[in-house]
Structure 1
Amino acid sequence: MIFSHEFSETSEYSAGTYTTPTDYFRYTLKVFEPGRSVAEPIMTIEEDYAFLMDSQWIAQLPEVREESVSAAPNELIVYFCDMFPFQRSVRDDSTRLLRDEIHNYIHNDLGPGMLEAFRIQSSDWGFIWYGDWTSSRPGADSERLSVALTKNGTWYHGRAPARGHSWISISVEGGVNAYYENLTDGLISAFYHELFHNLQRNMSLELGGNANIDGKEDAWQFFTEGMAVFASSIGMTHVQFSQTTKARAYLAEANKFVAGGGLLDGELNNSYKAMF
């Protein structure tokens, strides 16, 4: 037997009226025997559920240089879930945002910072957006700049990375965010990085490429990643190069690019032929 219930915009309960859908609910199923008191069910089944509710923040992007009308994305959409922990350091619970703070944080702090980063990379740095650009997400999102704020390992808008991915997905929980004085600086640093990959993909498509900016067998990844790290450092010089006990984006990666031993085994002291 299948039981189904369709929620309307509001639901009435003994405790009052609730707007639906809600992110938590409980169902109670009681089975009674005909003729017996309702106070004596022969079976009771109860279970709590939590819905992972997806929230969105949408804003107009600033006008920037573009090859033709509407070639550049004109809208930014940020996907987030306030049930995910927004936390600069997983070792310090005091850096976690309260759940009821997250919406205002996106609207008033992080979102405007992303808009400014888009303006700087496009207008101040002189990059032109071409009509072939795509966010690589399906549907309407393919032509607008979309950002998924993720909990590492869990997300529904594409790959959930350890730090970020050029689709753009960015982890909001710990990781390299801990190297920064606040969560916003860490997230905006990752956004600068991944946004620059979009500009690289934009140029690749315009020049007849297939948007695989790293090339065959990732032969050029050393350069594309290095440029994106550099972009985040130039865009946030005051943050990236401030005196701290832990090196941030550029300084943290510099030795890896030169000597190897990191995600990108650069080894600049070796020839390109020896590296690949």
Structure 2
Amino acid sequence: MTDAARPVLLCTNDDGVQAGGLALLAGVAESFGDVWTVAPDREQSATSHALSLYRPLRLTRLDDRRYMVDGTPTDCVVVALKEILETPPRFVLSGVNHGPNMGEDVLYSGTVAAAMEATILGVPAVAFSFTGDDETVLETYGDLLGGLIRSCLRRTEFPEETFLNVNLPNRPASEVEGVVVTALGRRVYIDSLRRSRDEHGHDYFRIGGGHSAWRGREDSDFRAVRAGYVSVTPLHLDLTNFELLNEVRSWGLGS
């Protein structure tokens, strides 16, 4: 049974239920509440906000408060909030993703999408990502993650339709310069589509690889991470460009 004195926290990710980053996040979160984990049964990176609309979803219980779903991170949040948990959790914590989620990455990321889905369903959420690839370095972030979670739980109110996107720099936590609030940078991918030919002589394509170029304001997420800071970006569900509303109205569209 859940201890009523402790908040309920839901952990998920897009790297799969066995991922080290998820185990780290859930382990840290246990200090602050009753943690439930509902995550994909396999890696679901770059699935963005996909829902499995055209096939049945299978839910497997691994232990008392740990489940896996044969679907996307968004599927996991929906199943957890609508089927598994009796009451909404205090927070949904997504990650820790193995790899960065900055700039346009947030549009592709399953980790970010899980936090976004929670926000849509009315639950405060934070997405966590590690910008390196060495799990031994990621493991040093336990205390820092705990501090971030503690700070969020102290909030009696959380901004509506907003969630936090956190990126940890590729260095041990002991070498982190601090935590800064940032804006999204811009990332341009170059040579990310590759043409190849199979053994039958048929062309096919792969998306990925190549290289990228960053640009953005002085307070952009990628600049903070490069300088050794933890980047915290508040993201809003409303994509409306309010500055252009009146201009676009003046275009006389449809007239």
TM-score, normalization by structure 1: 0.24
Q: Which has the larger radius of gyration?
A: 1
Larger proportion of strand = 2
Normalized against structure 2, the TM-score is what? 0.25
